[in-house]
Chain A
C-alpha cells in the first residue's frame, strides 16, 4: 500500500527542485473533457498524456481537462499551446497521445495526421 511516508518523500524531493514557473510559461496541453469527449475516449487519452509526462520527466508541461469546443463529432480533441502557437488535434487515441508527446512535445514536430484541418466537415 502506498503510504503517507512515500508521499512525504515525494514532497521533499519536489521541494529540492528549484524550478519555479509562472502560469503562462511552458507548454499547456488541453484535453476536451465534456460528455462528448468522455464518451469518445478522452479519459484514457488524458491519462496517457499525464503518464508520459511523468515517466519521461518532461518539465514545464501542464495538462488540463477543459470543456467542449463544439466539434463533438471529432472528439477526443487535444490542444497544445506553446508560446503563441496553438495546435488542435482531433480523434486522438492512446497511440496518437503518445505520438504527440514524443514527436510534438519532445521533438518539436507537429503530428500532421491528426490535425483538425483534416477532419473538419
Chain B
C-alpha cells in the first residue's frame, strides 16, 4: 500500500466488522518534534486479551474465506520501517484503539494520500456508521464530522451522489488548507 490513507481504509473495515457506530480518525503531523501519528478509535465490540496478542500476526484472522489476515501486520510494518510503532489497545465491549506513529521526515514514510477517497468510501458503508476525522499540521487543524453533516441534511442520506461529491471536495480543500503557512 503506497498511501497511509489506504491503511486507514483497511483498518477501519475492522471497526465496521466490529459493529462500531462511530469511528474517530485522528491524524497529527508535528514537524517540530518530527512526528506523524494516526489514531483510529472505534466503539465496536473490542477484542479479548488473547485475540489482542494475535492480531498483528499475519496468520491470524477472523475471516473465514482465507487463513491469512494482513491488515494490521502491514500497518505495523509500515510504522516500524519509519522508526515508529503500532500500538493496539482493546477491551471487550469497549471498542478498539489503534495508534501508529512514524518519523515525519523518514524517507520510507508513505504520504497520507487521498484521504478524501478513504473517507467517502467509509461513508458508503451499509451500516451507516458516523465518522470523525481530525487532521492537524502543527498548529492548523481540520475537523470533519458526519454527525454535523447529518444534522444539516435531515432525511437526505449521506450517500446521495451530490452530497458525497460535496463531502469529498470539503475534505480535500480542508486538508490542503492546513498545510498553508499561517499569516501573522
User: How close is B141's CB to chain A, nearest CB, in angstroms?
Assistant: 15
Q: Return the chain B residue nearest A31 by Cβ.
A: B121
In the bound assembly, the distance between CA atoms of A57 and B165 in angstroms comes to: 12
In the bound assembly, the distance between CA atoms of A83 and B71 in angstroms comes to: 34
* Range for the number of chain A residues in contact with chain B: 35 or more
| A2:B170 contact, CB within 8 angstroms | yes
* Range for the number of chain B residues in contact with chain A: 35 or more
With A35-B70, A72-B66 known as contacts, the answer to whether A64 contacts B117 (CB < 8 A) is no
The yes or no answer to B48 lying at the interface (CB within 8 A) is no
Chain A residues contacting B173 (CB-CB under 8 Å) are 1-2
The yes or no answer to B159 lying at the interface (CB within 8 A) is yes
In the bound assembly, the distance between CA atoms of A35 and B9 in angstroms comes to: 9
- The 8 Å CB contact of A33, one of B63, B70, B121, is B121
Give 5 new A-B contacts, CB below 8 A, not counting A11-B152, A54-B165: A2-B169, A43-B117, A47-B121, A64-B125, A65-B124
Q: Which 10 A-B pairs have the closest CB atoms?
A: A70-B65, A54-B161, A2-B170, A35-B71, A14-B156, A2-B169, A10-B162, A35-B70, A11-B156, A47-B117
Residues of B within 8 A of A (CB): 1, 6, 9-10, 13, 17, 63, 65-66, 69-71, 74, 114, 117-118, 120-122, 124-126, 149, 152-156, 159-166, 169-170, 173-174, 177
